[in-house]
Amino acid sequence: MKQPCLKFKRVILKLSGEMLAGDKRFGIAPEMLDKISNEVKQTAKLGVELGIVIGGGNIWRGAEERIKGLDRVTSDYMGMLGTVMNALALQNAFESAGVPAIVQSAIEIGKLCEPFSEKATVKYFQMGKVVVFAGGTGNPYFTTDTTAALRAVELKADILFKATKVDGVYTSDPMKNPSAKKYSEISFMEAIEKKLKIMDITAFSLCMENKVKIMVFNLQKWGNIVRALKGEKIGTIVH
């Protein structure tokens, strides 16, 4: 069977921890693991080299849920541990769906996952494995959005996919403002000037300086990853 023509060969996908929670506020919803693993399975069949950066907001919200007296550094490290838990859950779901996967972490947890290594990641891509990146950047004060941008730059990805619960970037929050207009594409500078909350400024700067495009789209419209890989106009392109 002839493979479809793909616009992107190597992709970094940023998933929020909240995506794994589904309709709940916290935790991991088994049905979301099933849906995401089925989506990734379709992607893997196309021969795409896929790396996934996972957040940890479904387990630890850090600044929003900070325990009294707990300092920022400790709170951020707790968030990193949350990303490791999510990454392991994704790995298990992918392998159950028949997709070989490996977890690499920016914080060393030898019995659970490998430390991040650019060369090892490329080798796994060539072997057809999905690589799930956990532990953020390994440093406090940096978000997993920044991790996604960093991995996209380090691994020379063709594009960074930012999966959300809305179908692109809008002039304002479409959940609160029904009159909000969607952008089909927007420049980094315009997004910064208009203070559109797509990713944090550090992540934006990394992508802008290294000319890595970002595609923002709704992952809950199943099949969107494959459509995006084929170059279909879904979501918003930030360039």
Q: What is the pLDDT of residues 160-219, one digit of tens each?
A: 999 887 888 888 877 788 888 888 999 988 988 888 878 888 998 999 999 999 999 988
Q: Which amino acid is at 90?
A: L
Residue 61 is assigned to a structural domain of this protein = yes
Cβ neighbour number for residue 72 with a 10 Å cutoff: 12
In 3D space, the residue among 148, 155, 123 whose CA is nearest the CA of residue 204 turns out to be 148
Cβ neighbour number for residue 157 with a 10 Å cutoff: 23
In 3D space, the residue among 16, 11, 19, 21 whose CA is nearest the CA of residue 143 turns out to be 16
Residue 2 is assigned to a structural domain of this protein = no
Cβ neighbour number for residue 148 with a 10 Å cutoff: 31
Residue 199 is assigned to a structural domain of this protein = yes
Give dist(CA 104, CA 124) in Å, integer: 11
Residue 4 is assigned to a structural domain of this protein = no
What is the band of 64 on the pLDDT scale with cuts at 50, 70, 90? low
Provide the CB-side half-sphere exposure for 95 (13 A, CA). Answer: 11
Residue 148 is assigned to a structural domain of this protein = yes
Read off the pLDDT of each residue in 69-85 and give the average, rounded to a whole number. Answer: 90
Check if the beta carbon of residue 145 is closer than 8 Å to that of residue 196: no
What is the band of 62 on the pLDDT scale with cuts at 50, 70, 90? low
Residue 80 has pLDDT above 90, yes or no: yes
- Mean per-residue pLDDT of the chain: 90
Check if the beta carbon of residue 152 is closer than 8 Å to that of residue 160: yes
What tokens appear for 50 in the block? 């896929």
In 3D space, the residue among 76, 194, 202 whose CA is nearest the CA of residue 139 turns out to be 76
Q: Which amino acid is at 171?
A: T
Residue 117 is assigned to a structural domain of this protein = yes
Distances (CA, A) of 127 to 47, 52, 178, 183, 213: 10, 16, 45, 37, 25
What is the band of 72 on the pLDDT scale with cuts at 50, 70, 90? confident
pLDDT in tens, 110-147: 999 999 999 999 999 999 999 999 999 999 999 999 99
What pLDDT does residue 1 have? 46
% pLDDT > 90, the chain: 62
* Number of structural domains found in the chain: 1
Q: What is the pTM of this model?
A: 0.93
Which domain does 141 fall in, by range?
Answer: 10-238
Q: What is the CATH number of the domain that holds 225?
A: 3.40.1160.10
Higher pLDDT pick, 174 / 67: 174
Read off the pLDDT of each residue in 21-33 and give the average, rounded to a whole number. Answer: 90
Residue 187 is assigned to a structural domain of this protein = yes
Residue 31 is assigned to a structural domain of this protein = yes
